[in-house]
Amino acid sequence: MDAIRRDLAALDAIERARLAEITARTEGIRGNVEFLVSMLIAGLALLLAGVAIVVGRTTRQRQEALARAEELNARQQALFDGAVDGMLLLDEAGHICKLNPSIVRMFGYDEDELLTRHNTFLMAEPSDLEVSRDWLSRVGAAGLQGAGRRHEFTGRRKDGSTFDTEVAVSRVADERERRYVAAIRDISDYKRAEAMKSEFVSTVSHELRTPLTSIGGSLGLLAGGAVGELNEKAARLIDIAHKNCERLVRLINDILDIEKISSGKMHFAQDEVALEELIRRTIAANAVFAAAQGVSLVAKGTARRVEVLGDADRLEQVLTNLVSNAIKHSRHDGTVEVVLKQSGSLAKIEVRDRGEGIPQEFRQRIFGKFAMADGSDNRTRGGTGLGLSIAREIAQHHGGTVSYDDRPGGGTVFWLELPAISELVQRSNAATDLPRILHVDDDRDCLSVMASAFEDRAAIVSLSAMEDARSVIEQEHFAGAIIDVGMRDEDGTSLLPAIRRRNPGLPVLLFSARDEKHLSAAADAVLIKSRSDLDEVVETMMGLLADRGAQA
């Protein structure tokens, strides 16, 4: 019994101990939970406080923002209403939603007569309607990048009279629906003034040239000895008068050119101009002047043919300006080099002198009008100070530019850079009975030696750019193709699918720098640049053509 009691007591003790342990553990957990809960409550409270602060601040900010927006709105409204330009708010289709008093003043309509009308109601020509629609949609498509695009329209007033306007349209940014603001400016006074200025300059130039013809003619005949020998002093005086008369003529010509360029009236022919030929002509035209200054003119790099699209006379004017400047600034016994270069799609003519270089303080305004390094310089050298400004403008009209660099070792290099006509246009113009073979290689030297290797056996269309090659493949017929594999930007074999699509049986020869097994599967012949010479390329290609001819 005692034993049972003892056991029970022991069990009880164990049970108690376990209970105590469980209780203690539960207590611990409860403590933990309570701690966690209180922490959570504290966190929540903090969060709530934070939220309250944020909400409070946001509300304040919103109120401020609203106030600012209202202020901005009022300001914009004031700008809109007070603008000297006529302002229209247009909906997506171009109907007038809002207009300012300047519109009423400019066009003579009341506000009610214009609201909900289409904006083209204010334009004179029916064609303007198309232009306007097209334009609006383009501004829309361009998004905000299209903001402020300008266009000239002829406006029509209520009384039927018309006037020139310039319109700038911007898309309105932050609205759910797409809208536009159009600012309309009456530019008829400006246009009239421009036309008058043009006419004035042209008339004055003509009126000045007429008496100069008589003065220059008389002096020219005297200086040329047409009426007998003059004594030394008289000859000197006549020479001075004659030189200055010629300078005045140059000045008039330059001013006319400037005026024509600025009014957009200078006409530029669009011919293929061979630059090596242009250099030859310019050097010939300046030979006398160079000889008089004791300067020799040397052409370099003109063995190759480089063509640009443009106006040969105007380009000669540019180059003559650069060459004559270089002569003027060269020392006696100096040399002026005219160097033709081509890099990629850009043609470049450099005019290098060993003169004193361009003074630091002159560099800022060298391309400005009436720019001369210093007055005394000009008097001895007879320039007008307009030449470089004209040269640069003409170059820009050709999509190029004129600029300069210091020449290492002293002197200056002035250069004219122009976009060269791609070989695509040049070569395919030549009519020929020979089989036409496309040659694509990014190495221009390789292109040119290949073309001469085929000389009278095939006409080679040489291309260095993959895009050109792709378009030629789509547009023209060839008897065969020679393709370089490892080009800088792209693998030449990527042209093969296009070639095969267009003409599945076209013989293709891959001319590769690397020996790669997979190439032979893709082409009719593979030759490795280091192992095969050009003759082998020619014979292989001509062999492929002959096979194809025999099959046909």
Partner 1 sequence: MTRILYVDDEPDIREIAEMALALDPDFEVRTAESAKEALAIAAQWQPEIALLDVMMPEIDGPSLLRMMRERPDLAEIPVAFVTARAQPSELQNFATLDAVGVIAKPFDPMTLASRVRALLG
CA distances from 425 to 237, 276, 342, 396, 477 (A): 55, 18, 16, 22, 15
State yes or no: residue 209 binds partner 1 (CB under 8 A).
yes
Closest CA to 387 of 340, 332, 330, 326: 326
Q: Which is nearer to partner 1, 122 or 258 (CB)?
A: 258
State yes or no: residue 220 binds partner 1 (CB under 8 A).
yes
State yes or no: residue 313 binds partner 1 (CB under 8 A).
yes
CA gyration radius for the chain?
A: 41
Task: State how far the Cα of 386 lies from the Cα of 368, in Å rounded to an integer.
Answer: 8
Contact region for partner 1 (CB under 8 A) — 182-190, 233-241, 251-259, 347-355?
A: 251-259
State yes or no: residue 257 binds partner 1 (CB under 8 A).
yes
Two tokens at 493? 């074999």
What's the min distance (Å) between Cβ of 223 and partner 1?
8
Two tokens at 59? 């509300």
State yes or no: residue 235 binds partner 1 (CB under 8 A).
no
State yes or no: residue 206 binds partner 1 (CB under 8 A).
yes
State yes or no: residue 226 binds partner 1 (CB under 8 A).
yes
State yes or no: residue 262 binds partner 1 (CB under 8 A).
no
What's the min distance (Å) between Cβ of 172 and partner 1?
47
What's the min distance (Å) between Cβ of 267 and partner 1?
6
- Binding residue count for partner 1, defined by CB under 8 A: 25
Classified as helix, coil or strand, 520 is helix
Closest CA to 439 of 431, 421, 451: 451
What's the min distance (Å) between Cβ of 471 and partner 1?
33
Instruction: Show the 3-state SS of 351-416.
Output: EECCCCCCCHHHHHHCCCCCCCCCHHHHHHHCCCCCHHHHHHHHHHHCCCEEEEEECCCCCEEEEE
Contact region for partner 1 (CB under 8 A) — 61-69, 79-87, 311-319, 342-350?
A: 311-319
Contact region for partner 1 (CB under 8 A) — 84-92, 212-220, 507-515, 532-540?
A: 212-220
Q: Which is nearer to partner 1, 58 or 213 (CB)?
A: 213
Task: State how far the Cα of 369 lies from the Cα of 171, in Å rounded to an integer.
Answer: 38
Binding partner 1 (rule: CB under 8 A), the pick from 146, 216, 387, 507 is 216
Q: Which is nearer to partner 1, 259 or 484 (CB)?
A: 259
Is residue 329 a contact partner of residue 384, using CB atoms and an 8 Å limit? no
Task: State how far the Cα of 181 lies from the Cα of 169, in Å rounded to an integer.
Answer: 6
Binding partner 1 (rule: CB under 8 A), the pick from 185, 314, 328, 348 is 314
Long-range (24+ apart) CB contacts under 8 A made by 169-176 are: 169/90, 169/135, 169/136, 169/139, 170/139, 170/144, 170/146, 171/139, 171/140, 171/143, 171/144, 171/146, 171/147, 172/89, 173/144
Looking at this protein, which amino acid is placed at residue 352? R
Residues 339 to 358 in contact with partner 1, rule: CB under 8 A: none
State yes or no: residue 256 binds partner 1 (CB under 8 A).
yes
Q: Which is nearer to partner 1, 85 or 271 (CB)?
A: 271
What's the min distance (Å) between Cβ of 314 and partner 1?
6
- Interface with partner 1 (CB under 8 A): 202, 206, 209-214, 216-218, 220-221, 224, 226, 245, 249, 253, 256-257, 260, 267, 313-314, 317
